[in-house]
Structures are given as C-alpha cells and as structure tokens.
Structure 1
Amino acid sequence: MKQNTDILLLMICLVLSCSNKKEQTNLNINGQIISPTNAVVLSSEIQWEKLNPARGDQSPQAGTIWGDRKGEVATGFLAKFVDGFSSPPHIHNVTYRAVVLKGQIHNDDAEAENMWMGTGSFWTQPKGEAHITSAKGKENIAYVEIDKGPYLVKPIDEAFDDGEKPMNLDASNIVWLGANKTNLIKSKSKAEISFLWENEGLQGLFIKLQSGFNGAIESDGSVFRAVVIDGELNYELPQDNDAKSLSVGSSFSSSDKAIHKITNNKGTSVLIYIRTNGTFKVK
C-alpha cells in the first residue's frame, strides 16, 4: 500500500513540475523573454483600399493593421475620410469601436447636431443602429476595431435594435489615472492610463506617455495590440534590438509574455490605444 502511495506522490510531483516548466518556457533565469513575439507594423506599410467601392472617389479608404475585416475574425483597421465627407444613413452588421487619429469626425444618428470629435476621442457604434459619419479637415483618420467580422455596410431598412447604446467620448472628457491612482503604473513613471471598455475577458484603454518617458510596458496576454494615436515614439524590437520610429497609425503587438521597450524623446506626449486580454504594467 505504501509503495502505491509513493508512486502516486511521485506522479503528482512530476505533473506539478511539468506545469511549472510550461509556465516558465518563455522566461530565462533572469526573467528575460526567451522567444519574444513582439511585432511592429509601420503606418507606411499599411495598404489602403476603398471601404465602400460603390461610392467611387467619395468612398472612405481602409487600411488593415491586423486581422481581416472581410473575414470572421477580430480586426483593427484605419479608416480615412476626405474633407467634407458625409455618409448617407446606414447600419453595420457588427458593433465597432473607434478612435480619432487626425482631423475631426462626427458619428451619430441623422437628426443629431454635429459633434466634432478631435484626436484622442473615442466612440462606439452598435450593430443595427442607423447613423451617419462625417469628417472635416485636411486629413481625417480613425482607428476602427471589431470583435468579429465581416464588417459590412447595409441600408437602414435592415436596421434593428440589439439593446446596445452608442457612446461618444470627446478627448477633453477623458479621465486620466497616474501612478498615485493605479498600481499599473510604476511610481514616478511619466505615464497615465484611462480605461475605456471591458468585454468577455478583453479590455481597451489609453496610455499617455509624457515627453522624456524611457521605460517599458510589460504584458502577459495572448492578445496585446497597441496603436499610436498621437505623437511619435521609439520602439525597440527585442529580437534584434532594432529601434523603430512609430508615427501615428503605427502599431506594436505580442502574443505571449512580452516587454515593450519604449522611449518618447520628441518633446510632446504620445497617446497609445491598447487592446489586451491579459495584465500589464507600465514601468
């Protein structure tokens, strides 16, 4: 009987040992990432195409950052509008979230007065709800994100109420938390956080890095995607210590534990939008 007990204990120890090793497979003895999954997409690398070809030259342009807006997967893409653009009333088959990068954008029902949202403003558009989108400015760009595709434009006679409510959050109304308000920011770090949404294990937030920031965002999610909304930062790829300059519309990501080394030496703050299913800390 004792022999059987000893065998059972040995098996349990082996299982626990294997489990611990699995958790540490991407970290070396110094806590460094062994096989980094960090990746960068520069705004200059984005391929643009017409978002709604039926509108010809008046169609907004779309540039995919990640995913596939024509497929069934979660996707993030940039949408570009000409000055004076105004869509007819329409609906979408999926809910989307969006952030203004450049210019001014209005998004609401057809009867609403214009509420122009500038850089760093955030809005949501529920699926099935009739609305219009307008833009004014020399250059108008927004980051658009869906949790599942495809992303389609449909007529208002197919409108439906899914119970969701839209949100328009102007940049001037965003509430920022510093190191004295959240433990997600290291003490004395030149950074602030604003939480935007949370849904089914995912969350979206803004991180603002002040001029002179020299540190890192440490993340552990299998989903971590960050888009530069305003400003410019330097990002160091750990695979080869290659430094990349990320301008507005550029992005960085990872799919495992990661250290995102960042510096901001441009003299102005940098605003980053982050989507993740894990925890993170700004150091």
Structure 2
Amino acid sequence: MYYRILNSLLIIGLFISCTTQNQKSDEEVVINNPTNKVKLSSEIVWEKLNPARGDKSPQAGTIFGDRKGEVPTGFLAKFVDGFSSPPHIHNVTYRAVVIKGTIHNDDPKAENMWMKPGSFWTQPQGEAHITSAKGEENIAYVEIDKGPYLVRPTDQAIDNGERPINIDVSNIVWLGSDRSNWVSQLAKINFLWEKDGLQGLFIKLPKNFKGELLSEGSIFHAVVISGGVDYTLPQNQELKHLDAGSYFTSTDRAKHTLSTKNESVIYIRTNGSIKVK
C-alpha cells in the first residue's frame, strides 16, 4: 500500500531539524582541491544481478561501492518487459527509486501496484516479496547501507521489525524555498529518510535552471532520476551531460555547477547539509 501519511510525517520531522541548521553562504565556500567526479549512464558496466537465474536474471550496473562486498552500495537494476521474479527475500534492506518504465514490488499475494518513474520504495531484510516490471525499458536505482546484496529463498524469511514503504511519484510532497532554506531559485526538495547520520532526499530543479548545489558532507552521492543536467567539473571546467541514470559525487565540501533544459529530479544520499542556489 502507499504510505502518504508516513511520508508527510517524515518530511515534517526532517524539515524542523534541517531548517534550524546554519547554512554557509556561497562566499564562504572555498574549494582548493575539489573531489568532484561523474559517471555517465553510458559508462555503466552491466552484469547479471542474480547469476543463479541465468538469462532470466535482471541486469545490474554498479554506480558506487560493491554489492558483493560489505560496503554501502548504489547500483542500477534493469528489467525486461514482462519480468516477474519468483517469491524471494534479501539478506539486507534496500531502498529504490524508479528511473524508467514501471515496477511493482510487494508481497507475493498483493495486487499489482505499478510505480512510475520518480517513485520510491523500500524492501526490508528477510521479507518475502516479488518484483515485476513492464515497459520497453525498466530501470531502478537500488541502494544498500551494507553488503553483500544476496537473494535467498522464502523459507529463510524473517521479520526484522521493518515495514516496507511504497511512495508513488504522485504522492511525493515537494517543499519550496518558503518551507526549506536548503533550496532557492524555484528548486524544490523532498526529505525521504534519515538514519545513522545519513539522509536521502530528492531535489527537483526547474526548467532552464542555472546554479550550484553546495554539499557539506564527506559522503555525497547523487543520481539523476529524470530529465537531465549539464554538469561542469571544477577541476578542468569540462562540461558533462548527465541523463537519467548518470551520477555525480564528492568526498568533501563541494560545489556542483548544474544547468537544465527541462525539469529534472535528482536523488541524493549524504551525511551533510546541502544548498541549491
């Protein structure tokens, strides 16, 4: 089911805490040794997500980390039209965002609830579920806090106390500059989750945006969910076009210079504050 109330309560709580933080002005941010990096969607290396299923396996492309290791990881999962997994569990909890196509993820007996691009869901560790997809191209961004990411049979199911969240794109609640001092220039923000000093959020940039995203965290991962952004690397002023599924990152305080031609949505995972100017 969709958790409109849960999403709203989470936003209110995060909004209260986030708006009380001091924001450093643009003039105060001096970056002597920028750590900015980008990865284009065309540079993603694809492999089988679940090799045990052979040709029926979805494809996976690592963005950061290593889903076979014990580190935080973000990767893209690609499903063919009509894909439907058998009931299964995972050994870790994951979060996910639909990038292309439509995806259903729920209890094996649940009716299909097709999530469109921009929708967000979580899958608790050990809970039995199925994943289905329909569309010419179906891609989701998947994120784990610690690997490895494994598929297990349902006879190993457990209840770890977490409950799944499914938020359709139509239920995303956007905050503008009148509700959050993290955004300006008609940009909008949605606070999705917070855990152990980390948080996940959406940023929506308007059409013809030109500005900067200032990040303060030592952890900063950003994935383009829809639209596209032109990104200027500070090291050499090289311009990169980041379409849906592309990625940019930094490991220290950073300025990310962005422009758009169309409205664009970016998912961010960070341990610090941000400011869109």
Give the alignment's TM-score, normalised by structure 1: 0.87
Structure 2 CA distance, aligned partners of 1:137 and 1:58? Answer: 16
Structure 2 letter corresponding to 1:128: G
Equivalent residue for 2:158, pick from 142, 150, 160: 160
Residues 43-122 of structure 1 mapped to structure 2, 5 A cutoff: 43-122=41-120
**Structure 1 stretches lacking a partner, 5+ long:** 1-28
Structure 2 CA distance, aligned partners of 1:52 and 1:157? Answer: 18
- The match for 1:276 is 270
Equivalent residue for 1:259, pick from 251, 255, 267: 255
Identity of aligned residues (%): 68
**Structure 2 stretches lacking a partner, 5+ long:** 1-26
Equivalent residue for 2:141, pick from 140, 143, 150: 143
Structure 1 CA distance, aligned partners of 2:91 and 2:132? Answer: 19
Structure 2 CA distance, aligned partners of 1:30 and 1:53? Answer: 49
Q: Secondary structure at the match of 1:178?
A: coil
2:211 maps to 1:221: no
Structure 1 CA distance, aligned partners of 2:48 and 2:163? Answer: 28
Equivalent residue for 1:212, pick from 188, 205, 208: 208
CA deviation string 1:137-186 (max 9, x = no partner): 00000000000000000000000000000000000000000011111113
Q: Secondary structure at the match of 1:197?
A: strand
Structure 2 letter corresponding to 1:218: L
Structure with higher Rg: it is 1
Structure 2 CA distance, aligned partners of 1:133 and 1:214? Answer: 38
8 Å contact kept, 1:82–1:139 = yes
Q: Secondary structure at the match of 1:184?
A: coil
In the TM superposition, structure 1's runs of 4+ consecutive aligned residues that sit over 4 Å from their partners are none
Structure 1 CA distance, aligned partners of 2:171 and 2:148? Answer: 32
Cα deviation for residue 31 of structure 1 reads 3.9
Q: Secondary structure at the match of 1:57?
A: helix
* Number of aligned residues: 251
- The match for 1:6 is none
CA-atom RMSD in angstroms: 1.0
Structure 2 CA distance, aligned partners of 1:216 and 1:209? Answer: 11
Cα deviation for residue 55 of structure 1 reads 1.5
Equivalent residue for 1:173, pick from 171, 176, 179: 171
Structure 2 CA distance, aligned partners of 1:45 and 1:212? Answer: 26
Structure 2 CA distance, aligned partners of 1:46 and 1:190? Answer: 31
Structure 2 letter corresponding to 1:205: L
Equivalent residue for 1:129, pick from 101, 105, 127: 127
Aligned in 2, Cα 1:32/1:48: closer, same or farther, shift over 3 Å?
Answer: same
CA deviation string 1:211-249 (max 9, x = no partner): 011001101100000000001110000000111000110
Structure 2 CA distance, aligned partners of 1:81 and 1:145? Answer: 16
Higher relative contact order (CA 8 A, sep 6+): 2
- The match for 1:15 is none
Give the alignment's TM-score, normalised by structure 2: 0.89
Structure 2 CA distance, aligned partners of 1:185 and 1:144? Answer: 25
